[in-house]
């Protein structure tokens, strides 16, 4: 009797992932949609608390997911290497290999605040999405390593095809693709601290980004080890990653980063209809080996509606 009365009052309930504390919210009834159940303040409050929100057993369609992303973002962007599938989302096709933990677009000059995922078809086995809370990683690193990353930025250097750079700048600067020229590379070089583009030839742009490995979460306001040091480069040349002055990062430090992040990595096994929202300024994500290619996941990236979010000094 009591359980019934409670389920009427609470159409969904929370069960944080054991050991990791990511917010996991279950619908009591599949008629309930995330789109019509959650306000921006509630979503952002959960992100501030937990870094990740997982919605399960709700009845949202792909279009609902698209609208959900719009409703809680100031602006939606795309990964320039992916094919667009709805107005705001793109189906993810990132090969079969395991994909390392990364901050979305973490080695590009513009990083979205929020990463969104929707599961249209679940895998029968494996293929989990991985998530790692950079606030916990920072806490677990040795004092020496933490101080190193807090006192020195890291540098990503690599060459990117001009067509990919053009697509990326077209989305981020909101300028039509065919209007992007070398002048826009110069604008970004001037406006984005740490970013330097240099033309190699008609096909390639050399990109160098100097950026902190430790970010301040724009939702929680706390420091987090959040970067793309371990990230994949499915669609691009892998970057060379060094200290800001060009010094190699020692193998001991790399070993510690791999060890501490893997200890703090949660693997999310998808159910059809799951929606996952990630604070991209705090939590890194990746994927286990793709064991079932029939799995279909859609993703989106966007900026927060909280204006102060962009103004927290680094
Ligand atoms: Fe990603």
pLDDT at residue number 311: 44
pLDDT at residue number 236: 74
Question: Higher pLDDT residue, 14 or 5?
Answer: 14
pLDDT in tens, 247-294: 999 999 999 999 999 999 999 999 999 999 999 999 999 999 888 888
How many angstroms does the Cα of residue 138 sit away from the middle of ligand 1? 21
Mean pLDDT, rounded, of the chain: 90
Tally Cβ neighbours within 10 Å of residue 286: 21
Residues near 42 by Cβ (< 8 Å), separated by ≥ 6?
A: none
Of the candidates 89, 237, 239, 82, the one whose C-alpha atom is nearest the C-alpha of residue 167 is: 82
pLDDT at residue number 279: 98
How many angstroms does the Cα of residue 286 sit away from the middle of ligand 1? 6
How many angstroms does the Cα of residue 1 sit away from the middle of ligand 1? 45
How many angstroms does the Cα of residue 11 sit away from the middle of ligand 1? 31
How many angstroms does the Cα of residue 290 sit away from the middle of ligand 1? 14
How many angstroms does the Cα of residue 115 sit away from the middle of ligand 1? 8
User: What percent of the chain clears pLDDT 90, i.e. is strictly above it?
Assistant: 78
Which residues have C-beta under 5 Å from ligand 1, the single-atom ion? 104
- When pLDDT is cut at 50, 70 and 90, the band that residue 62 belongs to is very high
pLDDT in tens, 29-49: 989 999 999 999 999 999 999
Mean pLDDT of 186-213: 96
Q: How far apart are CA 111 and CA 280, in angstroms?
A: 8
Mean pLDDT of 172-184: 94
In this predicted structure, the answer to whether residue 1 has a pLDDT above a threshold of 70 is no
Beta bridge partners of 26: 13, 56
Q: How far apart are CA 13 and CA 286, in angstroms?
A: 27
Mean pLDDT of 138-158: 97
* 158 sits in which H/E element: strand 154-161
How many angstroms does the Cα of residue 171 sit away from the middle of ligand 1? 17
pLDDT at residue number 88: 73
How many angstroms does the Cα of residue 196 sit away from the middle of ligand 1? 23
Give the fold, CATH level 3, of 1-162+206-314.
Answer: Double-stranded beta-helix (3.60.130)
pLDDT at residue number 289: 86
How many angstroms does the Cα of residue 190 sit away from the middle of ligand 1? 27
How many angstroms does the Cα of residue 281 sit away from the middle of ligand 1? 13
How many angstroms does the Cα of residue 6 sit away from the middle of ligand 1? 38
Residues near 58 by Cβ (< 8 Å), separated by ≥ 6?
A: 12, 27, 30, 32, 33, 34, 37, 273, 275
Mean pLDDT of 91-97: 73
Phi, psi of 199 (to 5 degrees): -75, 130
How many angstroms does the Cα of residue 288 sit away from the middle of ligand 1? 12
In this predicted structure, the answer to whether residue 129 has a pLDDT above a threshold of 50 is yes
Task: Specify the pTM.
Answer: 0.92
How many angstroms does the Cα of residue 140 sit away from the middle of ligand 1? 23
Phi, psi of 226 (to 5 degrees): -140, 110
How many angstroms does the Cα of residue 16 sit away from the middle of ligand 1? 23
**Measured at the alpha carbon of residue 20, what is the angle toward residues 300 and 4, in degrees to the nearest 5?**
85
22 neighbors 266 (Cβ within 8 angstroms): yes
User: What percent of the chain clears pLDDT 70, i.e. is strictly above it?
Assistant: 90
pLDDT in tens, 215-229: 999 999 999 999 999
Domain ranges in the chain?
1-162+206-314
pLDDT at residue number 234: 67
How many angstroms does the Cα of residue 34 sit away from the middle of ligand 1? 22
Q: What 3-state DSSP class applies to 178?
A: helix
Q: What 3-state DSSP class applies to 33?
A: coil
Q: What is the DSSP letter of 84?
A: B
How many angstroms does the Cα of residue 33 sit away from the middle of ligand 1? 25
How many angstroms does the Cα of residue 157 sit away from the middle of ligand 1? 19
In this predicted structure, the answer to whether residue 302 has a pLDDT above a threshold of 90 is yes
């Amino acid at each position: 009797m009591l359980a019934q009365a409670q389920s009427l009052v609470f159409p969904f309930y929370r069960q944080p992932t054991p050991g990791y504390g990511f917010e996991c919210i279950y619908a009591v009834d599949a008629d309930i949609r995330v789109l019509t159940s959650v306000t921006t303040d509630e979503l952002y409050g959960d992100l501030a608390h937990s870094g990740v929100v997982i919605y399960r057993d709700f009845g949202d369609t792909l279009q609902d997911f698209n609208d959900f992303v719009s409703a809680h973002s100031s602006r939606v962007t795309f990964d320039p290497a992916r094919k667009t599938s709805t107005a705001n989302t793109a189906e993810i096709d990132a090969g079969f290999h395991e994909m390392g933990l990364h901050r979305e677009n973490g080695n590009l000059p513009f990083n979205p605040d929020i990463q969104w995922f929707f599961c249209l078809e679940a895998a029968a086995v494996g293929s989990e999405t991985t998530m790692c809370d950079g606030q916990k990683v920072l806490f677990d690193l040795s004092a020496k390593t933490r101080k190193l990353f807090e006192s020195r930025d890291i540098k990503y250097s690599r060459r990117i095809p001009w067509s990919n750079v053009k697509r990326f700048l077209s989305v981020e600067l909101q300028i039509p693709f065919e209007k992007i020229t070398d002048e826009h590379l110069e604008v970004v070089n001037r406006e984005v601290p740490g970013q330097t583009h240099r033309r190699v030839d008609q096909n390639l742009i050399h990109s160098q980004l100097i950026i902190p490995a430790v970010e301040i979460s724009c939702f929680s306001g706390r420091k987090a080890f959040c970067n793309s040091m371990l990230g994949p480069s499915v669609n691009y040349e892998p970057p060379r990653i060094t200290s800001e002055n060009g010094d190699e990062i020692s193998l001991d430090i790399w070993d510690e980063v791999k060890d501490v992040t893997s200890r703090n990595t949660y693997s999310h096994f998808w159910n059809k209809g799951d929606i996952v929202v990630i604070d991209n300024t705090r939590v890194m994500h990746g994927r286990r080996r793709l064991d079932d290619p029939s799995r279909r996941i859609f993703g989106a990236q966007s900026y927060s509606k909280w204006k102060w979010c962009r103004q927290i000094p680094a």
